[in-house]
Amino acid sequence: MAAVGVVGAGYVGLTTAACLAGLGHDVVCAEVDESKVEQLSRGAVALGEPDLAPLVREGLDAGRLRFTTDVSAVEGREFVFACVPTPTGRDGTADLGAVEAMLSALSLEPHTVLVVKSTVPVGTCARIASVAGVSVVSNPEFLREGHAVEDFRHPGRVVLGGETPAVERVAALYGDLDAPVVRTDHASAELGKYASNAFLALKLSYVNLLARLCERTGADIGAVTRTMSLDERIGPHFLRPGPGWGGSCLPKDTRALEVSASAAGVDFTVLRAAIEANDRQHDHVVARVRDAAGGSLDGVRVGLFGLTFKAGTHDLRDSPALAVAGRLAAAGAVLTGYDPGTGDGDPAGPVQRVDDPVLAAKGARVLVVLTEWPEFTRLDWGQLAAVAEGEVVVDTRDVLDPVALRGSGLRCVRLGHSR
């Protein structure tokens, strides 16, 4: 079993640390946020990832996992995983400040393999290898929030970019993963990550535009995407229209790829179009709510259902629900929002967050479903209709049953459906 260091205890770092400890490795996880370290050290996990909290507690109890604010604690380890953030920086490229801060705080020993899990632009790992004097393996992460542990245990693929001995050492660390392993160079591994996220974004913008075309032409987006999904070359995933794609990575990575491609002399117009279409998708949802409100949103009370960027996560980063909320508020709407995944203290922008769906519906002229929480299908919509002022639900995620809603006295407006 190996001695492993992990830097950063967010979605990627904490999942990596806990899962590697679960495989029997000895893991120390360094994190700059003192309160996070304090909480994690007593087994309190704030991320709502299924199976993660018990795995962290198992690792702590077995003495195979510990947390520290002292980044030098990872020095001397056989593997150091970089799992720090790479948010959008100036001009849309990835801000590598946290990666650089981590490297300058560390004195790595020559036998250490530095494994870069953070999403970094092409050229970053080669540059780090040339200055850090250690082997660097690019091992981009593909986990989905809400499925982090499951995706670690059953990844669709493992990508390892770098020189052979170091790559094989990292492959061995993961044990028997039943997944295809892509062994490649740094640049291809780095680009493969951006290429994957940006492709998902492209697919979603395409579907959202199709949904708008359906609204204009009388076609049904459900039938259109089912037709597409039965073609194995297209596949059934990422074909659901919504209020726009968001989250901490799809928007930032798509933008970063577009900007870096442009800097490399490749005009990636299709990515720019996908980003612009996503922006317009938020406006489109606002237009549908405005129509439902009778033409103006000024002073109109709107009840929002769902604030997170998708169901199954607490994460509000770059949430399309909040982007729509911001535009509704700018048009004068008064917003109340209910989300089963968020709590007091979570930033909700212009939305007054409430813990009870009835309070979100109370006095609302329009109800809007912005996140596909399964809980929403089980709400008592008759009760919500009784306290609402209007009778329209704009369901941007197609989670509600329009026929059942009609029985509750509500009319359902869906994206991609003209009726």
Ligand X SMILES: NC(=O)C1=CN([C@@H]2O[C@H](COP(=O)(O)OP(=O)(O)OC[C@H]3O[C@@H](n4cnc5c(N)ncnc54)[C@H](O)[C@@H]3O)[C@@H](O)[C@H]2O)C=CC1
Ligand Y SMILES: O=C(O)[C@H]1O[C@H](OP(=O)(O)OP(=O)(O)OC[C@H]2O[C@@H](n3ccc(=O)[nH]c3=O)[C@H](O)[C@@H]2O)[C@H](O)[C@@H](O)[C@@H]1O
- By CB under 6 A, name the binding residues for ligand X: 7-13, 30-33, 36, 71, 83-86, 98, 101-102, 117-119, 141, 143, 145, 248-249
Shortest spacing between CB 249 and ligand Y, in angstroms: 3
Beta carbon nearer to ligand X, 5 or 242: 5
Cα→Cα distances 288→240, 251, 338, 377, Å: 18, 23, 20, 21
Structure tokens at 226: 């089912």
Return the residue nearest ligand Y (CB atom). Answer: 249
Angle between helices 186-217 and 221-229 (to 10 degrees): 140
Q: Which helix (H) or strand (E) holds 203?
A: helix 186-217
Q: Which among ligand X, ligand Y, none contacts residue 239 (Cβ within 5 to 8 A by kind)? A: ligand Y
Supply φ then ψ for residue 17, to 5 degrees: -60, -50
SS3 323: helix
Q: Is 246 in the site for ligand Y (CB under 6 A)?
A: yes
Q: Is 49 in the site for ligand Y (CB under 6 A)?
A: no
Beta carbon nearer to ligand X, 7 or 393: 7
Residues catalogued as catalytic: 249
Q: Which among ligand X, ligand Y, none contacts residue 376 (Cβ within 5 to 8 A by kind)? A: none
Q: Which among ligand X, ligand Y, none contacts residue 98 (Cβ within 5 to 8 A by kind)? A: ligand X
Structure tokens at 352: 């007054």
Q: Which among ligand X, ligand Y, none contacts residue 327 (Cβ within 5 to 8 A by kind)? A: none
Supply φ then ψ for residue 413, to 5 degrees: -105, 125
Q: Is 416 in the site for ligand Y (CB under 6 A)?
A: no
**Binding site: what residues are annotated?**
36, 86, 119, 142-145, 193, 238-242, 246, 252, 310, 317
Q: Quick check: 241 and 415 in contact, CB under 8 A?
A: yes
Shortest spacing between CB 299 and ligand Y, in angstroms: 29
Return the residue nearest ligand X (CB atom). Answer: 10
Residues 6 or more apart whose CB falls under 8 angstroms from that of 111 comprise: 78
**Binding site for NAD(+): what residues are annotated?**
36, 86, 119, 145, 252, 317
- The letter for the amino acid at 304 is L
Beta carbon nearer to ligand Y, 64 or 117: 117
Q: Quick check: 262 and 269 in contact, CB under 8 A?
A: no
Separation of alpha carbons 196 and 375, rounded Å? 30
Q: Chain centroid to CA 417: how far?
A: 27
Q: Chain centroid to CA 147: how far?
A: 11
Separation of alpha carbons 267 and 278, rounded Å? 19
Beta carbon nearer to ligand Y, 319 or 408: 319
Shortest spacing between CB 25 and ligand X, in angstroms: 19
Shortest spacing between CB 341 and ligand X, in angstroms: 15
Beta carbon nearer to ligand Y, 224 or 300: 224
* 326 burial via Cβ count (<10 Å: 0-12, 13-18, 19+): middle
Separation of alpha carbons 364 and 362, rounded Å? 5
Q: Is 335 in the site for ligand Y (CB under 6 A)?
A: no
Q: Is 247 in the site for ligand Y (CB under 6 A)?
A: yes
Show the site string, 195-224: x = touches ligand Y by CB under 6 A, - = not: --x--x---x--------------------
Shortest spacing between CB 168 and ligand Y, in angstroms: 24
SS3 71: helix
Q: Is 309 in the site for ligand Y (CB under 6 A)?
A: yes
Please pick, from the candidates 242, 306, 337, 340, the single residue that binds ligand Y as defined by CB under 6 A. 242
β-partners of residue 113 are 79, 135
Q: Is 145 in the site for ligand Y (CB under 6 A)?
A: yes
Q: Which helix (H) or strand (E) holds 67?
A: strand 65-68
Beta carbon nearer to ligand X, 317 or 362: 317
Q: Return the sign of the alpha-carbon dihedral for residues 190, 195, 196, 200.
A: positive
Angle between helices 320-330 and 269-292 (to 10 degrees): 50
Q: Which among ligand X, ligand Y, none contacts residue 310 (Cβ within 5 to 8 A by kind)? A: ligand Y
Q: Which among ligand X, ligand Y, none contacts residue 240 (Cβ within 5 to 8 A by kind)? A: ligand Y
Q: Which among ligand Y, ligand X, none contacts residue 303 (Cβ within 5 to 8 A by kind)? A: none
Contact set with ligand Y (CB under 6 A): 119, 141-145, 197, 200, 204, 238-240, 242, 245-250, 309-310, 320
